[in-house]
Structure 1
């Protein structure tokens, strides 16, 4: 992945739900189906704790 801000599609490891998230999210993002934490903010590029399915340009 490059260092620019962009959206990515991630897949929840628990329920396999796919969501589009911002790679520099400033808040924690949870799966909208099961509530598992998908993204944790770090002050810059967010720590993605799930599988990245695709980058969206």
Structure 2
């Protein structure tokens, strides 16, 4: 499976969380519950700020 993992900063609480770029389910912030990624059928739409690429494949 090809895809990248991104460290995404939540826009509301600044929590950083690792998100798969092809997430198939909505990803919420573990602290405040804000949506960080929304699935689109391919690459997910990342709502937060991408801080870094954790692992590239």
TM-score norm. by structure 1 comes to 0.90
Q: State the Cα distance separating 1:6 from its structure 2 match.
A: 1.0
Which among 6, 9, 19 is matched to residue 8 of structure 1? 6
Which among 35, 39, 45 is matched to residue 37 of structure 1? 35
Which among 24, 30, 55 is matched to residue 53 of structure 2? 55
Give 1:46's aligned residue: 44
Q: Which runs of 5+ in 1 are unaligned?
A: none
> RMSD across aligned C-alpha pairs, in angstroms?
0.8
Once residues 17 and 56 of structure 1 are traced to their aligned partners in structure 2, the CA distance between those partners, rounded to angstroms, is 16
Once residues 49 and 21 of structure 1 are traced to their aligned partners in structure 2, the CA distance between those partners, rounded to angstroms, is 11
Q: Which runs of 5+ in 2 are unaligned?
A: none
Aligned length: 54
Moved over 3 A (4+): none
TM-score norm. by structure 2 comes to 0.90
